[in-house]
Structure 1
Amino acid sequence: MIPALKRNRQTGYAIRQGSRAMDVIFYILALLVCLATLYPFYFVVIMSISSPSEVAAMNVFWYPKGFFLGSYELIVGDAKMWRAYLNTLVYVTCGTALNCLMAVLGAYPLTVRSLVGRKWLVRYLLIPMYFGGGLIPAYLLVNKLGLYNTMGAIIIPGAVGIWNIILVRTYFQTIPDSLKESAFVDGASHLQLLFKIMIPVSKPIMAVIAIYTIVGIWNNWFDALVYLPNEKLHPLQMYLYRVVVQQTVDLKMLSMEDARSAAANMLTNLQLKYSIIVFTTLPVLFTYPFFQKYFVKGAMLGSLKE
């Protein structure tokens, strides 16, 4: 679009890019995209707090009809759900810490120019990033390593992310060489340089890797389906999968004995499914603000220099 000239009292003529009409159109399109993106989650929320009879009749579309939190009371009182919640926290905490550590340890040597075969190692890493052995070899490997039906089956196989290593390596290359050279002049070793200088100045890219890993592990249910026959080790998303897809959990038979008999006649499995979807999604949504400070900067800087 050709820039237009706009009269300015102080500076004479100034260049104004675009037009207000196009700006209004773009804002409207962006608003429509936001509404289309947010409405599904909004729909689940209002369905989870509406009257069970209105939910069963599918009469809720734009705002809650009635107000009922009995389904959340049943969910909170379910011991199996809290066990799955605790398992997920363990998987997320250990998996994220291990993934970040492996990304740093794998990326730093690839930035050392004196490393023999450094470029060939980078090219080699691209092969398993795009080509995997498949589910059966992965299952056999997990079984041979003795990780089957253990928490390690969820944490260890995903500890090394090649894409994360490449991101961290690219970010490390943006750090000035003078900073590294001054550290070596002061007698620092490679480990001291990595943990005392490189990592502290790489908070943006570490935040990017952390949020990607947290969301990935939190939403993961397939690995638990394949490697964890023991329900006591299932993560939260596997519990949600059993509720929504397999329907092997009778939500009307949850704990709270004193309220079960009264709630069984009022609640439907449909509303309880909406409630548990909200309950399992909110923690991830609340995670983003803590990483927002570094997220955009890390995502951009980690992709500019190769």
Structure 2
Amino acid sequence: MKAKRTVNGRSKIKSGRSDQIIQVLIYCVVIGLCLVIILPCLNIAALSFNDGKDAAKGGIYFWPRIFTLDNYKQVFQDGAITKAYLITIARTVIGTAASLMVTSFAAYALKEKGLPGRKLLTILITFTMLFSGGMIPTYIQYNKLGLVDHFGVYVVPGLVSVTYLLMMRTFFESIPESLEESAKLDGCGYFGIFTRIVLPLSKPVIAVVGLYTAVNHWNDWFSGAFYMRSSRLWPVQTVLQQMLTRAMANKEITSVAQAIAQNTNSVTSDSLKMAAVVITTVPILCVYPFVQKYFTKGAMIGAVKE
């Protein structure tokens, strides 16, 4: 039996020894998982700030042995990387905002029980999660729509994700119908209810879906590599991916690779890769603190049925 104790006038159940052991084990597992995630990131950061030739000798773990910024200077040496960053930021901001708008509208419509053909629409939308046309038909379709070699290929195909659509619909359904009914009695239409009641109460799901969408846009290099005929609209991930590929495969293409071949620079392909990983990861990580308070509640959508 667990003994009861009173703290500040409140009765609490004292944990047994087995409960304390389980709690310690849970803490150990969580700490171990955090170390598994954090330590490789520290190693990557240390290698990115370390002299490339020195890092090739090994022994660099969580702190640079010979500090240098040459790896980052080489990455930003070409002006194309700055333009690529602007394109990446633009596609992330525009794509995320447009996706949230379209997805929230569609989710609110599917939430309404009076929508004609609601069940059929839900089945058809869910069906697209299971099957896709494939790469070649997708490219042909984008080409006929005029999206190939156009900025729109970064935004239009990702306007609606079925997973995020269903997440939003589930959250909207959890909002009490009495709030909408009272708003209708006050003369609010569907758009007024959506903007004045549903959206303000849906900050958790909007924050989570917005974060996931922004991360998808930021990390995407595939669209630029396959749907852009020229490099003028490449996002930063595609530019860095091409830079690393050339640096490792053809030493005559980039100034970085030439420096490595001539042994006149402290930058190596490995140190360049580490700097590229840091450059592409850190900016999007800065978004997490702003949505962290909504993340736990929003990520559990659909897990608990009230």
The normalised TM-score by structure 2 is 0.88
Structure 2: distance between partners of 1:13 and 1:274: 51
Structure 1: distance between partners of 2:177 and 2:6: 48
Question: Does the CA contact (< 8 Å) of 1:167 and 1:303 recur in 2?
Answer: no
Aligned equivalent of 2:2, options 1, 5, 18: 5
Q: Which amino acid aligns with 1:94?
A: I
Question: Does the CA contact (< 8 Å) of 1:207 and 1:298 recur in 2?
Answer: yes
The DSSP-based 3-state class of the residue aligned with 2:2 is strand
The Cα offsets for residues 211-238 of structure 1, whole Å up to 9 and x where unpaired, read as 0001111111112111012111111111
Structure 2: distance between partners of 1:26 and 1:112: 42
Partner residue, 1:37 = 37
Structure 1: distance between partners of 2:246 and 2:130: 32
Structure 2: distance between partners of 1:12 and 1:192: 47
Q: Deviation at 1:305?
A: 4.3
Partner residue, 1:169 = 169
Structure 1: distance between partners of 2:103 and 2:72: 39
Aligned equivalent of 1:252, options 256, 260, 285: 256
Q: Which amino acid aligns with 1:161?
A: S
Unaligned runs of 5+ in 1: 255-261
Structure 2: distance between partners of 1:221 and 1:181: 46
Partner residue, 2:15 = 16
The DSSP-based 3-state class of the residue aligned with 1:199 is helix
The DSSP-based 3-state class of the residue aligned with 2:195 is helix
The normalised TM-score by structure 1 is 0.88
Q: Which amino acid aligns with 1:196?
A: R
Moved more, 38-47 or 263-272: 263-272
Superposed structure 1 runs of 4+ greater than 6 Å apart: 9-13
Partner residue, 1:92 = 92
Question: Does the CA contact (< 8 Å) of 1:205 and 1:302 recur in 2?
Answer: no
Written as runs of structure 1 = structure 2, the 5 A alignment for 1:70-85 is: 70-85=70-85
Question: Does the CA contact (< 8 Å) of 2:149 and 2:227 recur in 1?
Answer: yes
Written as runs of structure 1 = structure 2, the 5 A alignment for 1:85-124 is: 85-124=85-124
Partner residue, 1:141 = 141
Structure 1: distance between partners of 2:34 and 2:62: 16
Moved more, 53-62 or 104-113: 53-62
Structure 2: distance between partners of 1:52 and 1:111: 56
The DSSP-based 3-state class of the residue aligned with 1:110 is helix
Written as runs of structure 1 = structure 2, the 5 A alignment for 1:243-282 is: 243-247=243-247, 250=254, 252=256, 264-282=264-282
Given the superposition, is the C-alpha separation of residues 13 and 217 from structure 1 closer, same or farther in structure 2, using an over 3 Å criterion?
closer
Q: Which amino acid aligns with 2:163?
A: W
Partner residue, 2:180 = 180
The Cα offsets for residues 125-183 of structure 1, whole Å up to 9 and x where unpaired, read as 11002211111111111000011101111211111111111111111111111110111
Identity score, percent: 33
Structure 2: distance between partners of 1:185 and 1:7: 51
Given the superposition, is the C-alpha separation of residues 24 and 140 from structure 1 closer, same or farther in structure 2, using an over 3 Å criterion?
same
Q: Deviation at 1:80?
A: 1.1
The alignment yields a C-alpha RMSD, in angstroms, of 2.6
Partner residue, 2:227 = 227
Structure 1: distance between partners of 2:98 and 2:11: 59
Question: Does the CA contact (< 8 Å) of 1:70 and 1:263 recur in 2?
Answer: no
Moved more, 231-240 or 32-41: 32-41
Q: Deviation at 1:185?
A: 1.0
Q: Deviation at 1:27?
A: 2.1
Given the superposition, is the C-alpha separation of residues 39 and 12 from structure 1 closer, same or farther in structure 2, using an over 3 Å criterion?
closer
Q: Which amino acid aligns with 1:240?
A: L
Q: Which amino acid aligns with 1:66?
A: I
Structure 2: distance between partners of 1:115 and 1:12: 50
What is the number of equivalent residue pairs in this alignment?
A: 298
Partner residue, 2:125 = 125
Question: Does the CA contact (< 8 Å) of 1:240 and 1:277 recur in 2?
Answer: no
Structure 1: distance between partners of 2:66 and 2:148: 47
Structure 1: distance between partners of 2:189 and 2:6: 61
Written as runs of structure 1 = structure 2, the 5 A alignment for 1:154-165 is: 154-165=154-165
The Cα offsets for residues 266-295 of structure 1, whole Å up to 9 and x where unpaired, read as 322321221121111101111111111211
Given the superposition, is the C-alpha separation of residues 114 and 24 from structure 1 closer, same or farther in structure 2, using an over 3 Å criterion?
closer
Question: Does the CA contact (< 8 Å) of 1:204 and 1:295 recur in 2?
Answer: yes
Question: Does the CA contact (< 8 Å) of 2:5 and 2:14 recur in 1?
Answer: no
Given the superposition, is the C-alpha separation of residues 41 and 123 from structure 1 closer, same or farther in structure 2, using an over 3 Å criterion?
same
